[in-house]
Each structure stands twice: as C-alpha cells, then as structure tokens.
Structure 1
Amino acid sequence: MTRTHDERPGHGPADRPTGPTGLTAWARDLATGARFALTGGREGWLRTGLTAVGVGIGVVLLLIAASVPEMLSQRDERQAARDVTSSTAGGPRADTLLYQSVGTDYRDKPVSGALLRAEGPKAPAPPGVDRIPGAGEMVVSPALDRLLKSDEGKLLRERFRYRAVGTIGDAGLIGPSELFFYIGSDHLSTDNPAVRYGQGERVLRVNRYGSDQDDPPLSPALLLLVVMVCVVLLLPVAVFIATAVRFGGDHRDRRLAALRLVGADIKAVRRIAAGEALCAALIGLAVGTGLFLSARRFASGITIQDTSVFPADLAPAPAPAALVAVAVPALAVVTTLLALRGVAIEPLGIVRNAVARRRRLWWRLLLPAVGLVLLVPLSGSVSLYGYGGTVPTVRVAVGAVLVLVGVTALLPWLVEACVARLRGGPLPWQLAVRRLQLSGGSAARAVSGITVAVAGAIAVQMLFAGTQNDYVGKPDEVPATHSRIQAMYRTGTAAEVRGWQERLRATEGVTGAVATVESYADAHGGEGRGGVATVRVADCATLRELARLDSCADGDVFVAQEPDGDVPTARNFPPGTPLEMARWDSSGGSEKAYRWTVPASARVVATRPDPTGEHRFGVLATPSAIDVRAMPEGRTVASVKFRQGDLDAIERVRNTAAGIDPAVRVWRMGGVVKDDHYAAIQRGLLVGGTLTLFLIGGSMLVTTLEQLRERSRLLSALVALGTRRSTIGWSVLWQTAVPVVLGMILAVAGGLGLGWTMLRLIDRRVKDWLSFLPLVGAGTAVILLVTLLSLPPLWRMMRTNGLRTE
C-alpha cells in the first residue's frame, strides 16, 4: 500500500474525532469491542476462545504462585503446632507425657514420627489425633497407612508391628503425602535419655505441643536464590499472556479496517480492539480461576520430590490475588495498544501487508544494559553465610527482569536480521524463509516464552552450582550402590552391644557389622595438645576388627593411629593424657562432665579397616577400663556393610534396628546432606519449573495452531496448485527451527551473562560453563514435541475444501 499524503494514524481526513470523547468514548468503544468478541461469529468466537484459554493457563500458574506464601505459612503453622521444643520442669504430673522424636527411611523416603507415653489422664494428644496411643499401639498418617497395606510396603510392615488404632488428621500433618506416625511406648524414661549426637533425640517431658521458636532468617545468598527463582518462574507467564492476547491479529485487523470504512476514526478503532482483548482477558481470568479451583481439588494426589500440599493450602492471599485480577486485563489492553502502534488501519486495508520498517535495535540493547548497570555495582556485596543481612531484593529483581526481557526483545530483531540475508536453497527452505521474512515477529513470539525460561533457568542453575559446596555436604567416599549403613542408639553394656552386633550380622544380606560405644573427648580443661578425639569401647573381639592387636584382655586400652599418619592421634593423645567428656546445654555451658585418663599402660596400635572399610582412629578401650554409663554423650554406633545394590538388605537392616528399639537411628553412609532452606528452594524451583514447562508447552501448541489456522486458506491454495504436502510440512518445520535455534543462542548468551553477574554478587566463580546443555536440550525437546503435535492439524488444514467460502 502506497501513501500519497500524510496518512499517519491520527492525521488523515477520516481520523478527525467525531462523537463522544474522553471516558464516554472509552466506555462506548470498549463495550463495542466486547460485543465483537462475544457476537463476532465463528471467527470471533474462535479467536476469543483461544485467547481465553491462553490467558486462563497463565492465570492458573499466577494463582498458584500467589498461593505459595499462604501454602508455606500453613505448612509452617502445622509443623510448629506439633513440634516439642523444651521439657517441662519437675516430675510427672496428670497433664504431662514423655515424648521422643524418632524416624526411619524406606526406599530413601523419610518416615518420621514420635514415641509417646502418657504420665497422667490429662496428657495432651498430638494435633490431628483423638487420643494418645497406648503401649504397642500406633496412629499413622493416611499416606503411611496406604503404604503399609500395599505390596510395596511389605518390608516396612515388619518395622511397624504395632496395632493401628487410627489415622492422623490433616491438622497434624505437613502435607497429604507425609509418612508420619505416633507410637505408644511404656519404655520411655527421662532417666535413660537417648543420645543427642547426630540424629538422636532426648526423651522430653512436656505438657503441651507447639513451638515458640522462629525459624532463622534466610541468609542473603539464599534470599538471592529465592528472588531469582521467582523471576525465572513468573516472567515466562507474563510473556505468554502478552502473546496470548495477540492471537488472531490478522483477522482482527481486517475487521477493524471495515470499521474505518463505516466512519470510525483510528483512536476509536484502537479502543474497540482493546475492548475485544479486554473481554477475552476477563473471560480468560474467569476460565483460569475456574481451572485453578477445579485443579486444586486434586492437589493432594500430586507429589513432587516428597512435597505435597492440601487443597485448602492453595488459597491465594488477597493482595496477590487482587494484583492478578487487575494486572492480567491491564496487560491485555496495553499489549493490544502497543501492537497496533505499528499498524496503520485504513478504510481500504491495513499497512501490515506492506514492507515493514526495520526494527530498532537501540532500545532492545538498552534493556539488558540497564539491568546490568543495576546488578554489576553490587558485586561482592551479598554475604554468603551471614544471617539477617540485607539484600536489595527490588533492585536485584528489576535488574534480572530487565536482562531477561531484553533477551526476549532481541529475538524478533535477530530473526528479522538473519532471515533477511537468506537466499536460495531447497523449495521447503525457500517457503519457510519467505514466510519468516514476511512475519518473523509472529514466529519469534511463538518461542519467546521458552527463550526467556531457558535463559532464566541457566542463570539460576549457575547460581545453584556456585553455592552448592556451601549448602550441600560432600558425600563420603563410598560406592553409589547403597552398600553401607550406620545406626546410632543409647549407651549399652558390653553384653547388650555384642548382642545388637550379632543381630545385625545375622540379618540377610549383611556381609559385616561392628558396634561400639562412642563419645567425643578432649584434653582436660579443653586446652591440652590433644584437641578432640573419639573414645570407643568394645570387647576384644570387636576391637581386633578395628586395629591390629598382638594381644587383648578386658581392661586394656589402646591408642589407634592411622597407618599413613594423616591424623596424629598417638602424638595428640599419648598414654597418660587426661580427657574430659561433657554434655553441653543449649547455651554452650557444660551440664555434666566425666573425666578419665588414658592409662600409662595404653599401647599405640595401627588401625585396620573395619567391615565397612573405615579406619576408626582414636582411643580404644575394653569395657572394664572405663565406665560407659558415666559417659554423658555416649552412644552405641553400629556400622553395617551389605551386598552392593541390594535395596532390600537396607530395609532388612532397618527392620533389625527397629526390632532392637524404635529409637535407633539408621542412615545410609555416603548420602548428600543439604541445608534445609537450600533444599526447600531447590524443591520449589523443581515444582515451579515443572509447571512452567507444561505452561510453555501448552502455550506454544495453542500459538502454533492459531498461526496455522490463520494460514489455512493459503495452505489449501498451495495444495490445490500442486504443491506436495511434504514440501509444506518441511517448510513449517523450518519455520519453527530457525527461530528456535536463534532463540536458544540468545537464551544461552543471556543466561550465562546473568548467571555470571549473579555469582559476582556473592563473590563466587562459575563452576561449569557447559551447565546450560541439559536446559537447552529440555527447551528444544518441548519445541519439537509441540511441532510434532501440530502436524496432524496441519495435514487437515491442507485439504482443498479449505478454499470454500460463503
């Protein structure tokens, strides 16, 4: 279309305002647009439906995100309501009970609970439980009850040989999939406390449930991770909603041109288009709300990495919900008005079909530049370990958003710049290139969501990798085949410890086991040259498995030195060294101390690997040489080795340990221990990332189908003129592949740059520059899957009956 005079929007003869102005004109034209959306015939209904579905999908995820604060708050409240943190002073009363936290694992899933013993008729029952179970009785969570009754829980049933008298209600559970229990016990006593070391818990006398302690605040580095996770998960949703409201743009613009023909000015036309988009967005908001309310009923059946929620927990807070209700329609209107700025809608047509002017690059580069200007000066300012520090969360979030939005904004320009220089090639390639040259913006919008998601995911992955060593404990040097386990229990006599060791050795699948009574000790007064060592007590037969002994008799003591001398035990704790073993209270003071001197007759011996392959250096003593009952932090520690890869052997060892006492703690050696907050953020990223991936896949499928529908007549015409279907199919694939490749290049560049900048904030270096490969592969896989799903509709649209018209 060629302009012969000044026909810029708002300057032509037909653009002079007529009729009402101001708010009245806006109300009239918005209502007209809504009427077109609802009564525009099949074409209008289809476009409105596609937009509503697209917006609705985005609204679902936004409402889920708005529910996260309430969900976490409810989980924390239920956790605090059932926790027991301190003992009641004095002896037993009518309203007290004894409480000991216990736990186990099954197939590496945590199974936690507590042993209870009522000391009076008024002892309080735990939240979600009608009464305290008696000796030999138990109450379990519904999820644990189902597991125990299933074939999968066969081995676990041997560990819970108690009479089930009920299930725990929702008020006593963190989530519906939690494996939790309460067991009644008549053996609990505060005179024989369980160990505090490691995972052990003391027996507490309490008269109520509930924790008054607040969780420690997130460290600044973890807060930085939270900010980045929120940005990465929510920004693709906003991009998708902005894309969804532009569905069917070509058909809408032709209809708007008809309105110009009957006398509407350009401003009225734009307001009518905004009204149509607003109506579709409001319908999408209602659809999304309905989908959210329907889907949350099934929330209890979804578990991701042992994390699940009750449906009632998925309730958006009022302020975020109101923000979603306002922001989504506003985004629809703003996006529509911005899209129409580049289109001159005239009475006889639209300028969209003419050669468009080149996209400007400067403002697209300005966005990430401003983001980096906000972030780079903060380098090294975020403390990794400090608590209570400040993080400029708004500045960090705005900077990250600008960088990621800049990556998205660069994609249409990059696609246009690249395809403008492409020439020649096979026929499908030429058809694809020509289509991209005419409408590269639409193709870029189709993959913009996956581009920004991959770029953000790369940045977060680099941030997680850079902080992993600070929040994730290094695993022991053991095979990754589940071949070693440790168990910990109260201090036992020599006969008891020997008996427990033999029971473990007799367990099917066990190839070796050793059990000793252990305690940490330091030089008397804590100032000797010895530092800290471990005192181990066992009979001679067991000590011979720990060290090379020429002779051994009850009453002997040895100082075990590693053969390579890496730990100079013999030099630091020579015979004659006075030791002190103490129990420390919560304030750091010593509650009780036991002093003992390494006899001058002690012999220095070399260690040997125990059945699990470990060297147990330190002080080795026989039962008559030391009073194990007086060791304030004494505990019985058993190390067990079994057939590599035999998962059932692990459960049988845990069953044997539970048969000794439910308070025995068992864990697999070599496991990775994560900081609780770090693990929670990582789980949140996994859950949110999974939902975002489904959203992006669904949005791309809807976008692709909408674009194919707009070109259905053109596709039918090509087939009618003799073009082979395979040629058209390959051209469609190439139309998707080119923007995808360019989008992934941008995502990698933007993600690596943002990730490097974020690591500089916490003064950390990049651990792996190739960590983006799995993320790029996942994004590419989503795009390929969407393309394959779009092929059947494409084949149907190429039928020649698509040329019929009325």
Structure 2
Amino acid sequence: MKRRLHDLALGTRFALTGGREGWVRTLLTALGVGLGVALLLGAASVPQLTGERAARSHARQPFSEGSDKNTGRLKASLLYAVADTEFRDDTIGGRLLRSASASPVLPPGLTAIPAPGTMAVSPALRDLLASPEGELLRQRLPFKITQTIGDAGLVNPSELFFYAGSSALSADSGADSAAGFGNIGDVQQLNPMLVVLVILICVVLLMPVAIFIATAVRFGSEQRDRRLAALRLVGADARTTRWIAGGEALAGAVLGLATGTLLFLGAAQVIGPIGLWSVGFFPGDFTPVPWLAALVAVAVPALAVGVTLAAMRSVSVEPLGVVRGGRPRRRRLWWRLLLPAAGALLLVVSQRLDIELNALAPVAIAAGATLVLLGLITLLPWLVEAVVARLRGGSLPWQLAVRRLQLSSGTASRAVSGITVAVAGSVALQMFFVGIHDDFNKVTGADASRAQYTVMANYPDTALAERMIGAFRQTPGVRQVIGSVTSYVTRPGTVAAGDIRPTTQLTLGDCATLRELADIDSCTDGDTFVVHPTDDPEQAAWMDRTARPGRPVNTAPDHEPGARQVLWTLPASARTVTARPDPTGREEHGIFVTPGAIDTSLLTSGAVTRAVLVVDQEVPDAAEHIRNTATRVNPLLRVATVRTIERDQQYAGIQTGLQAASLATLGLIAASMLVSQLEQLRERRRLLAALVAFGTRRTTLAGSVLWQTALPVALGIALAAVGGTALGALMLRIIGKTVTEWWLFAPLAAAGAAVILAVTVLSLPALWRLMRPDGLRTE
C-alpha cells in the first residue's frame, strides 16, 4: 500500500509539473470533471432545496384558534382572506389582513400589520408594479407600499406576493381568523406511479454525469501512455506505470472537485434568484446534504483512479513505446449482453405496482433501470467496432474517418456514450409520461367556447351578484355575464334516528342565467323551477323529497337539535325541467328561482355567489380588465380560467423539475462533449499539421472530423432508440400500463443529433488553428 501511494503521489507530481502539455491536459480533465461535479452537487442539494421551500411555505400558513398547533392556548388575533390573482402569465399570491387585537400575530417577513389602504410587497412585485408593464396591475392593487416582505416570508426570491390591510374584513364577508403562523397541514403522499417516475428521472439524469466524469479522467491518454513508456525505459515496471497513470487522473479529479464546487457556488448565485418555469430558490438553499457531498468527494477521485487502472489493463506500455497490438483483440459481445439482460430481468420480476396497497420495490426498479442503461454503454463500443470494421471505399474524408475509427474506436465511443444514455433515458421517460398522462390530466368537461372565466365568492349576497353582473357587463372584452347565488335547503321537520335529512340545492338567478343552466322554454321574473339531473333518476327522486311544489323548505339548515328554521314555500306553480351543463361543464339541479320569487335575505346556508363570463378574445388584456373589475367589486372575489383539462399538482411539479434538470443535463452534455472534442483534436495536432503539410485540403480534414463524430453518434442514437423504447415499455409494465406511442424516440434522437452537430461546428475553429504548419514543432 505504501508503494502504491508513492506511485499515486508521483503521478500527481507529473500532472502538476509536467510542463505546458501536462498542465493543459490536467486543466481539461479538471474542467470535464468539474462540470459533472457541479451537477452532482446540485442533485445532492435537491432535498435541501425542496425542504427549505416547503418550510418557508408552511411558515406563513395560518392556523386558527383551537388547532392542533396550539391546542387552544392561543386566541385568534388576526383576520385574513386569500386574495390571490393572476397577471398575464404570472401568479400573484396575496392576503388581506386586519388586526383583531392590540397585539396581532405577524406573518413571517413582516414587521407590522399593514394599515388599511397600505400593503407590504415582495421585491419582485415591487419591481413589477414600478415598471410600465405593471400599469393594469397597479389598478388592481391601488394600495400604498409601506413595507417590503423579508426573505423569511417568501418561497423564492422571484415570488410575486403581497399583504394588504383591509378594514372591511369580517367573518360575514368570508374572512378567517388566525392565532398564529406555521401550519404544516396534511402532508400529501406521492402517488406510487409518480414514485416510479421520480426513480427513473434520477437514474436518467445522473447516469450521463457519471459517464462524463469517467470520460474526462481519460483525457490525454495517448500522450500519457507515451510518457509512461519513458518511465519503463528508466526501470519502472508495468504495475508502477498503471498506478502513476492513476495518480495523474487523481490530480485532475481533485482539481475537478475544486472546479465543480466553484461552478456550483457560482451557478447557485445566478440561477437561484432567476428561477426556471416559476421555480426559484434563494442561494442559501443550495446546500448539499452532507453525506451526499462527502460521497461525491470520495467517489469522484476513486472513480478516476479505478477507471484509469481498468483502462491501462488493455494497454501494454513497453520501454520502447506503447504496444496496442498489431491486430487489436476484438471486443467480446456475450458479457456486454448480461448487463441489460439482468436489468430487464429485475424490472420484469420486480413486484407489480398495486395502486391500492401502495406496494413498490424502488431498489429493484432503480437497479434494473441502471443496469439497462449501463448495458447500452458497454454495447456501444462493440457496435461501433463491428460496424466500422466492415466499411470500405467512399470519399476521401469518409475513408480518413473510417480508418481512424478502425484503428481506435474506443475514444469516439466514449465521447458519445453520454448522449446515448441521455437519449435512451429521455425516450423511456417520455414513454412513461405518455403512459400515465391520462391518470394525472383530468378532462373537466368544460366548454371553453361557451365561457372563458368564472368569478366566485364563498358567501351569499344577491346585491353582490347584481353588482357583479352590472360591473362585468361594462368591462372591456366581456360579451355575456351569467350570474347566480347558490345555497342549500332541506326538508323541514324531524327525521328518524340514523336517517339522512333530504337536501337539495337552490339556485337564484335571472331568466338569462337560468336558461344557461336548464332547458327552460319560457321564463319571467317570479318563476320557479324544479330541475332534474339529465341521467340520474335516483338523484332526481332524492331531490324531489325536498323540492315539493306547494310545500315549505328550510333555507337555514342546521343539523344541531333545536336549531332555528327559516322556511320558504316552494310555489305550487313550479315547473319541472331538465338540467343543462353550464359552460364550465358543471350541471346544477334542484330548485331554480328568479329574484322576484324569494326574499334573498333567506339564503344563509353555505351559499356561493358565482358568475360565468363569455369574453371576446380579440380584446387585448381582457383577462386583466376582468380581474381588475372583480377587485373593484369585492377584493375577495376569485377569478378562475375555464380549463378543459386540469393537471395534477404533484405531476405538474415533477414535470417542471424534470424540465429544469433536463436543461442542466443537456448543458452538461454539450459542454463536456465540446471539451472532449477539443482534447481529441489537441492530441492529433501533429498528425493534422503533417497531413496539411503534405497537401491535404483543410476541408477534407474537417469532413473527416465530422464523419468521425457523426458515425458513432448515429450508431449510438440508434442503440439508444432501441434500448430506451425497451426500457420505457418495461417501466410501463411495472405500473400496469401499455405502450401507446412507439415513435417518441424520433424527436429525441433528432435533438441528440443536433447537440452533436452543434458541438462539431463549435470545434471547427480549433481544428483550423491546429492544422497550421507550426503544429509540427515539438519539444
């Protein structure tokens, strides 16, 4: 062990004191390893990132008097109401606040409760309001800014959030009371299908990183081998040269750790505040989990030494030169098939996912996916060697490229192995996403052609409904307003113990509104209707037990014994009609009344004031005018867009995270391949200069470099398409799904080819520079 450590130290000295060539090689290795380390540290920070965001989000969630948080020891001292809104493509969070005691509890990030007419805003919202683009938003938030919310009160630095003081808040207006902040609430468990998806994402995104690190530590291997031959000449044995080579790789890996740490810290300062897809972080959130960071710090140098020792076993370094064999030994296929076969077997026999029992074998799934992707890496060198060995003839650039690959295809295979794994993994991920798409994207049944927005307030107010209708009809871009107040009524009297009291819904609206909700031929103010559901006789029969023409209903149902009843008699002239789905896809049924048929003050139980808006989409910023009108009518009105499809929030969050991580991985792939390409060109500069000196055209050499890259890439992408499709099918089998799209690999393969083409084009200036005659100089 002492001898081996001495050899490693000697190799480290050669890497750091080997002159200009040694430094260039070591720096290139450090850059390649550093890119991978930076991404690994980012991955190790994910638990901290999500944990810190969740902690800040929970810290500002209010809890009421008597909640589990305080077991009734704290009294409510603050009234609040949610005032979230949207502005173009941005979501703006907001709360209306009113003190309920002399010393109200403070939300995180505030120094005082804003006085009525003032507000505290996040830095990002302050900038937006101050910009010309925020003119319409300023009309919606006409409060004076007196505070800036501190970091403790924001989920991320780019969040748009405000707290506004309001003197109009009360329990009757829909406000809630708060005794403190920091309510964690119910933690929603991740859907088992999404657990499988997260496992696959981790494997797919981290595999290319490991591959690029393993590739980077082998930069300059040909020049290193020639230098090791000189060491053999002065007496070093074969084992010593291998460990010296490992020491050189170790030096590059350690410098790569330092480089990656600096890149990680710099990226955290830049990327965190900017955010991607509305997901941002504070720079302090980028803190790797200590044991994961330690694992990276140990694994990267160990991987560098291990890969180098393994690679040196296939090279015979002799005193008079590097002997790679007159006829290279052909790569064997059988053991390369064992890895993907073992991975597929693990996925096939792994426990079938049972959605109800939440049964899952995450270790087997991760191991199986990893083995399949590793199998593709081991198959690629064999495939490239087998194909190029049979190629003959062609143009001069083609022949130069093929001959180079026939002599040494290992370097080219290593260069494209990362893109092969990335494409294969992306194909599997896309197949998995398509397979579970319908489970997490619900068709709402809404008809966005009939209406585009809904406005709601969770308390009954016919005067508010009338103001809403009038105000929205005057709003630019609104063509039609459908407004209603919905409450619940019960059958009066007593019921037997254990029985359920007959209950139905009561909807108040003008004739134009009721015609949108039911098939009504004629209607005048004062009419009433009993509306049956379209295809539910059982529900209609239950509803008729309450809605009995000529008989009273209780408009203030309270299930407590002795509760006061508020009776209203359903007119005997009420007609029975059939419900019609409204523009949002909902079907209202029960008792429909016009304003002239009932005293609206009787509606008290769980009523909702609602309006549905038909909008002219050609009017610029029609949505913003609607939201501004809603705020003027009542700040507690909630405006929502009518959507034909609703996405599950967990699914959407994972998809957003995948987009951000995929962008980082794609950037790593491009940067690492560019570094690898430049290193290969640097090693061949004397050969390139010699060919130019003998009269070879530069365009011929450029074409040969392009073919040397394109041929392994084409084979790698073809292998990735087959392997990725097979992996995706196996992953879908685990959750009981079938493949619905077999051609998802086509756009991903095209994207992978585009990355390679871009890297090749970017390397052409370096190629032109290396083909100068002074490249023949040597020391």
TM-score normalised by the chain length of structure 2: 0.92
Whole-Å separation in 2 of the counterparts to 1:283 and 1:322: 16
Contact 2:65-2:74 within 8 A present in 1 as well: no
Match of residue 306 from structure 1: 278
* Contact 1:372-1:399 within 8 A present in 2 as well: yes
Match of 1:558 among 508, 529, 533: 529
Residue number among 460, 471, 490 corresponding to 2:458 in the alignment? 490
Distance 1:115 1:265, change over 3 A: same
How far has the Cα of 1:538 moved from its partner? 1.2
**Residue 658 in 1 paired to residue 658 in 2?**
no
Q: How does 1:436-455 map to 2 (within 5 A)?
A: 436-455=405-424
1:546-572 CA-to-partner distances (Å, cap 9, x unmatched) read 55655444442113468xx55668777
Percent identity reads 51
What residue number does 2:22 align with? 44
Report which stretch shifted further, 328-337 or 718-727. Answer: 718-727
1:315 corresponds to which residue?
Answer: 287
Of 352, 362, 368, the match for 1:399:
368
Is the 8 Å Cα contact of residues 274 and 337 (structure 1) preserved in structure 2? Answer: yes
Shift of 1:73: 0.9
For 1:409, the equivalent position in structure 2 comes to 378
2:658 to 682, 685, 695: 685
Q: Distance in 1 between matches of 2:382 and 2:302?
A: 26
Matched, 1:222 2:203: no
Deviation of residue 768 (structure 1)? 1.6
Alpha-carbon contact 1:103-1:114 (below 8 Å) kept: yes
CA distance change for structure 1 residues 545 and 464 in 2, over 3 Å: closer, same or farther? closer
Query: In structure 1, what is the equivalent of residue 390 of structure 2?
Result: 421
Query: Residues 102 and 392 (structure 1 numbering): CA distance in 2 closer, same or farther, change over 3 Å?
Result: same
Aligned-partner SS, 2:614: strand
Question: Retained in 2: the 8 A contact 1:94–1:122?
Answer: no
State the partner residue of 1:730.
Answer: 703
Q: How many residues align?
A: 765
Given that 2:458 and 2:608 are in contact with CA atoms closer than 8 Å, whether structure 1 keeps it comes out as: yes
Specify the code of the residue in structure 2 equivalent to 1:651: E
Equivalent of 1:63 in 36, 41, 50: 41
Which of 53, 57, 70 is residue 75 of structure 1 equivalent to? 53
Bigger drift between 693-702 and 566-575 goes to 566-575
Give the Cα–Cα distance (whole angstroms) in 1 for the partners of residues 669 and 502 of structure 2. Answer: 57
- 1:118 is the counterpart of 2:99: yes
Q: Are 1:470 and 2:439 an aligned pair?
A: yes
2: CA distance, partners of 1:123 / 1:614: 41
Other-structure match for 1:794: 767
Match of 1:100 in 2: 81
2: CA distance, partners of 1:593 / 1:174: 46
Greater Cα offset, 490-499 or 253-262: 490-499
Q: CA deviation at 1:543?
A: 3.0
Deviations 1:141-200 (A, max 9, x none): 11111111112222111110111111111101111111111111111112343xxxxxxx
How many angstroms does 1:237 deviate by? Answer: 0.4
Structure 2 partner of 1:511: 479
Written as runs of structure 1 = structure 2, the 5 A alignment for 1:103-252 is 103-193=84-174, 203-252=175-224
Gaps of 5+ in 2: none
**1:646: Cα distance to partner?**
4.3
Distance of 2:674 and 2:570 partners within structure 1 = 75
In 2, the alpha carbon distance for the partners of 1:718 and 1:318 equals: 52
Amino acid at match of 1:207: A
- The residue type paired with residue 537 of structure 1 is L
| 8 Å contact kept, 2:448–2:642 | no
Corresponding position of 2:318: 346
In the alignment, what sits opposite 2:402?
A: 433
Q: 1:620 aligns with which of 568, 585, 592?
A: 592
> Which residue among 254, 260, 263 is the counterpart of 2:226?
254
Alpha-carbon separation, structure 2, partners of 1:615 and 1:217: 31
Aligned to 2:671: 698
Amino acid paired to 2:156? G
Distance across 1 between alignment mates of 2:328 and 2:50: 50
Q: Which amino acid aligns with 2:20?
A: R
Following superposition, the deviation at residue 261 of structure 1 comes to 0.7
One of 327, 332, 335 as aligned partner of 1:363: 335
Tell me the residue number matched to 1:196: none
Distance (whole Å) between structure 1 residues aligned to residue 429 and residue 557 of structure 2: 42
1:775 pairs with 2:753: no
SS in 2 for 1:640: strand
CA deviations on 1:632-677 (whole Å, 9 max, x unpaired) are 2211111111112545001110111111122111111016432222
- 2:726 counterpart of 1:753: yes
- Secondary structure, in 3 states, of the residue corresponding to 2:296? helix
Shift of 1:608: 7.2
CA distance in 1, matches of 2:76, 2:461: 34
Q: 1:719 aligns with which of 687, 692, 708?
A: 692
- Secondary structure of the 1:434 match is helix
Q: 1:384 aligns with which of 325, 346, 355?
A: 355
Match of 2:615 in 1: 642
SS at match of 2:297: helix
Alpha-carbon distance between aligned partners in 2 of 1:211 and 1:747, rounded to the nearest angstrom? 47
Q: Per the alignment, in what secondary structure is the counterpart of residue 45 of structure 2? A: helix
RMSD over equivalenced CA pairs, Å: 3.1
Cα distance change on mapping 1:502 and 1:208 into 2, 3 Å? same
Residue 504 of structure 2 contacts residue 547 of structure 2 at CA under 8 Å; is this kept in 1?
no
Q: 1:641 to 1:593 in 2, by over 3 A?
A: farther
Q: Tell me which moved more, 86-95 or 689-698.
A: 86-95
Contact 1:54 1:241 in 2 (8 A): yes
Amino acid aligned to 1:517? V
Sort the Cα spacing of 1:24 and 1:559 in 2 relative to 1 into closer, same or farther, 3 A.
same
| 8 Å CA contact 2:487, 2:603 repeated in 1 | no
CA shift for structure 1 position 779 = 1.5
Question: Structure 2 counterpart of 1:462, which letter?
Answer: M
String of CA shifts for 1:289-329, please: whole Å, max 9, x gaps.
Answer: 12222222223332211000000000111111100100100
Q: Residue type matched to 2:385 in 1?
A: E
Greater CA drift, 643-652 or 454-463: 643-652
CA distance in 1, matches of 2:192, 2:469: 46
Which deviates the most, 344-353 or 321-330?
Answer: 344-353
Q: 1: distance between equivalents of 2:476 and 2:370? A: 57
Output one character per residue of 1:88-120: Cα deviation in whole Å (capped at 9) or x when no partner: 589999861112222111113211121111111
Letter in 1 for 2:758: L
> Which residue does 1:577 correspond to in 2?
547
Q: TM-score, normalised by structure 1?
A: 0.89
Distance 1:737 1:239 in 2: 19
CA–CA distance in structure 2, aligned partners of residues 583 and 287 of structure 1: 69
One-letter amino acid matched to 2:153: G
CA shift, 1:776, in A, is 1.8
